[in-house]
Amino acid sequence: MTPGLQRRLEQAVERFEEIERLLAEPELADDPRRFTALSREYSDLQAIVETWREIERLDERESEAREMAAESDGDMRKMAIDELSEIETERERLDRQLQRLIVPPDPNDRKNLFIEIRAGTGGQEAALFAGDLFRMYGRYAESQGWRIEILSGQQGEAGGWRELIARVIGNGAYSKLKFESGTHRVQRVPATESQGRIHTSACTVAILPEVDEVDEIKVDPSDLRIDTYRSSGAGGQHVNTTDSAIRITHLPSGIVVECQDERSQHKNKARAMSLLSARLLEAERSQQQSEQAANRKLQVGSGDRSERIRTYNFPQGRVTDHRIGLTLYDLDNILEGELEELIEPLTEAHQADLLAELG
């Protein structure tokens, strides 16, 4: 273990013991927000400390087994050697687990998120692909027990979506989907292609963590232009009944957000303001991290949608993630929402980058 990781582990154990004492204080019951924050931090650190203690117990077993192997012969020595082999395998597993746990957590990981999908080059085919992507994320969200609310959208002429903004509600949603920001490219033969030629189209995806009230950035009301209009398209079941849909323009940045999902104008405004805050916070974070993110393969947290991150090749049934050089011949299942085989390697690569920095 590197000195940097060792220091991080020692700090985690010290903080865990400190929080244990704080949670036992009776006056903490008078501050529910602080109690919740400390309980979450305690839960995160508990996994680190318990894994470390397992490793310490494993070290004791290893020492005893080595003594037995050195001092015994016959069956006893064979048993000791077999145990050492099991201990080595278990130690490798626990070491990987500890390294994964000791990486500083992303404060946004537990949050809900906003997902924005926009058709890029490719016209109608790009819009159809945007629909495929939204369906893919929807299936994955369903498998995780999350909910999806479409906030606004514009459907394509031949189906799919020219653009779509939705809210994904579920514990840990951002932690799973935060690596999806970027340009997604599709290679396939469109239904309208009579010559059987493969076309290349693209969509951009942005994943934004929902902003909590406690870290919501301040927005000057004088910087906003708020327009109301009648709902239409996605979410507009109450078309031509009331001017309940909301469009908010942040004049200094030019950012425009819309919400037409709810019948209530008040609820639509609240959702739109939440999305605006998320976009402004992401823009601020992107500016702060751009230099650091440029040196990483995963562009995590930068919201960078300019770089092609993934290609979906239908003729070959292939999905390639260009950031980590991962190729999977499992296109059909991935489009059905089986995303873990993409998410896990991306998460591991990101953790490896952070571990390298800690080391």
Q: Are 242 and 267 in contact, with CB atoms under 8 Å apart?
A: no
- In this prediction, residue 297 carries a pLDDT of 47
Q: What is the pLDDT of residues 66-76, one digit of tens each?
A: 998 888 888 88
pLDDT exceeds cutoff 80 at 78: yes
pLDDT exceeds cutoff 70 at 60: yes
Architecture of domain 3-102: Up-down Bundle (1.20)
CA distance 127 to 201: 9
Question: So where are the chain's domains?
Answer: 3-102, 113-213+305-358, 221-284
pTM: 0.67
Which of 120-134, 165-179, 283-297 comes out lowest in average pLDDT?
283-297
Q: Which of 193, 191, 180 lies closest to 133 in space, CA to CA?
A: 180
- Which residue would you say has higher pLDDT here, 297 or 15? 15
Architecture of domain 113-213+305-358: 2-Layer Sandwich (3.30)
Average pLDDT over residues 263-281: 83
Contacts of 106 (CB under 8 A, 6+ apart): 174, 175, 178, 301
Confidence band of 138 (pLDDT split at 50, 70, 90): very high
pLDDT exceeds cutoff 50 at 292: no
* pLDDT above 90 coverage of the chain, percent: 45
Average pLDDT over residues 40-57: 90
* pLDDT above 70 coverage of the chain, percent: 86
pLDDT exceeds cutoff 90 at 84: yes
CA distance 228 to 215: 27
Residue 1 is given by DSSP the state -
Confidence band of 234 (pLDDT split at 50, 70, 90): very low
pLDDT exceeds cutoff 90 at 97: no
Which of 54-58, 139-143, 154-158, 217-221 comes out lowest in average pLDDT?
217-221
- In this prediction, residue 22 carries a pLDDT of 93
Q: Are 84 and 66 in contact, with CB atoms under 8 Å apart?
A: yes
- Which SS3 state, helix, strand or coil, does residue 337 take? coil
pLDDT exceeds cutoff 60 at 241: no
Highest mean pLDDT among 86-90, 215-219, 255-259, 270-274: 86-90
Nearest-10 Cα torsion for 32, 34, 40, 44: -160
pLDDT exceeds cutoff 70 at 216: no
- In this prediction, residue 8 carries a pLDDT of 79
- Which residue would you say has higher pLDDT here, 18 or 97? 18
CATH of 221-284, one of 3.40.50.1220, 3.40.50.720, 3.30.160.20, 3.30.565.10: 3.30.160.20
Confidence band of 1 (pLDDT split at 50, 70, 90): low
The identity of residue 165, as a single letter, is I
Q: Are 339 and 319 in contact, with CB atoms under 8 Å apart?
A: no
pLDDT exceeds cutoff 70 at 302: no
Supply the mean pLDDT for the chain. 85
CA distance 168 to 141: 8
CA distance 141 to 78: 50
- Which residue would you say has higher pLDDT here, 191 or 113? 113
Q: Are 103 and 351 in contact, with CB atoms under 8 Å apart?
A: yes
CA distance 174 to 208: 8
Average pLDDT over residues 244-263: 84
Confidence band of 301 (pLDDT split at 50, 70, 90): very low
pLDDT exceeds cutoff 80 at 142: yes
pLDDT exceeds cutoff 70 at 306: no
pLDDT exceeds cutoff 90 at 329: yes
- Which SS3 state, helix, strand or coil, does residue 210 take? coil
